[in-house]
Structure 1
């Protein structure tokens, strides 16, 4: 039986977008974000982060910084009885200065590579799954991937998720 998932954008959805976040000390949870992840966990959904991280290609920080922040997020969520099941991030950006990442790719939202990889690995039923994000790019990715898009425009993330994800 296929799994269902809620894909969360990171910056601007789970945490305040401070611009190229890569340091734990700059991380600020959005209101209701930890509770929204716990709600998703409790309702049988995988909680998956899918985030564009062009700061890697731009040379602002390393891919290991993205993983370190994710690991810290999970440590913090554990104290709230919640967890993230997976991290998918796109380090690519055509205009980047790190050659390894300065290229077009299929994972940068609105393309669906991150969602596709998670669906294949975790046997995710797209029709029963969601993508929660704060941008048109996120909503386009949801549509392109066959997920239900939930646009977050600020406020209590838990209330938004509870009103949509059943």
Structure 2
């Protein structure tokens, strides 16, 4: 879905950012959206940002759930966003755990998945935003050249849903 001009994007971590982190969430019944997350993301959609999710999913490498379990939950989550008027362009995930699967370039804090999205969708990194709950999310965004890297905790606590107030 490449375009001739670069677009700005919002990159979101999943566990701890989109949903409450309960540790290796892979079942719909365990998935609880962060209060305020839909309002926050809708504000970016209204400003013309493409929406991407960038998530480490080491539970796959650990054998806690399968790739298929992860994909089923991801499709459900994307549908929930769609119902709120939020199109998710793509979800990128890293199923690896270096101790078990060896080193990779996609596990945050490495920027591999963000760089892949930037290249695949002609994203203007400097005018894009990464939101996460952990330092590794912020570091991955910085390494990928993302212009604004924000902690979800600060945004939700302040109710700073408007992109101009970040």
Matched, 1:89 2:88: no
User: How many Å apart are 1:157 and its aligned residue?
Assistant: 7.4
3-state SS, counterpart of residue 93 of structure 2? strand
- Structure 1: distance between partners of 2:57 and 2:38: 21
| Pair 1:145–1:157, CA change in 2 (3 A) | farther
Compute the TM-score of the two structures, normalised by the length of structure 2: 0.89
Cα contact 1:37–1:84 (8 A) shared by 2: no
Unaligned runs of 5+ in 1: 97-101
Maintained 8 Å contact 2:13/2:131: yes
Counterpart for residue 79 of structure 2: 75
Conserved? CA contact 1:4–1:125, under 8 Å: yes
Where does residue 156 of structure 2 map in the other structure?
156
Gaps of 5+ in 2: none
**CA shift digits 1:15-70 (9 cap, x unpaired):** 00010010011000001112222222221111100000000100111122222112
Corresponding position of 1:37: 41
Map 1:133-148 to 2 at 5 A.
133-147=132-146, 148=148
Change (3 A) 1:165 1:128: farther
Query: Taking structure 1 as the reference length, what is the TM-score of the superposition?
Result: 0.89
The whole-number CA distance in structure 2 between the counterparts of 1:52 and 1:165 is: 28
How far apart are 1:139 and its partner, in Å?
A: 1.0
- What CA distance in whole angstroms lies between the structure 2 residues aligned with 1:164 and 1:105? 35
Residue 62 of structure 2 corresponds to: 58
Q: Distance in 2 between matches of 1:157 and 1:68?
A: 30
Q: Equivalents in 2 of 1:14, 1:140: separation in Å?
A: 18
CA RMSD, 1 decimal:
1.9
Give the corresponding residue for 2:131: 132
Aligned partners of 2:127, 2:143: CA distance in 1, in Å?
Answer: 15
Do the aligned partners of 2:43 and 2:163 also contact (CA within 8 Å) in 1?
A: no
Q: Give the number of aligned pairs.
A: 161
- Structure 1 residue 158, shift from structure 2 partner: 9.0
Change (3 A) 1:153 1:14: same
Normalized per residue, which structure has more helix? 2
Residue 79 of structure 1 deviates from its aligned partner by 2.0
